[in-house]
Amino acid sequence: MSRPAKFSLAAAFACAGRGLWLMTKGRNGRLQIGMAMIAIATGVTLRIDRGEWLAIVLSIAMVLALETVNTGLERAVDLVSPGYDDLARDAKDLAAGAVLIASVASVVVGLIVFLPKIARFL
């Protein structure tokens, strides 16, 4: 199925929304969304301030954006290289590595934001 050469802004947003929906169909996408929901609930519970919310929201956005790109890259690689290929594996592993970097950084941000507040309760 081909798309028209030009399509409306609404159609572009619909395509982007479909991309997000496709990301949520994968195990890792659901895991990342679950972790984001935990971070948001923790932020609400601990009443974090505006700057802390900024760090948490940017971390969540970074991880979800990279997970979406990773999912797209995996599908594109599968399309052009349905059989095993070392270069295809490298491309997939590199994209997954980018998600891992963002995820680890997000955990560090979460620790910096949440641990001092949790420590007050202990």
User: What is the rounded CA–CA span in Å between residue 9 and residue 122?
Assistant: 51
Catalytic residue chosen out of the listed positions 67, 70, 99, 106:
67
- Cα–Cα distance between 97 and 19 in angstroms, integer? 21
- 62 closest CA partner among 18, 32, 22, 92: 32
Residue 74 annotated as catalytic: no
Cα–chain center distance at 102? 9
**Closest residue by Cα to residue 59 from 39, 30, 38:** 39
How many CB atoms are located within 10 Å of the residue 60 CB?
Answer: 21
Catalytic residues: 67
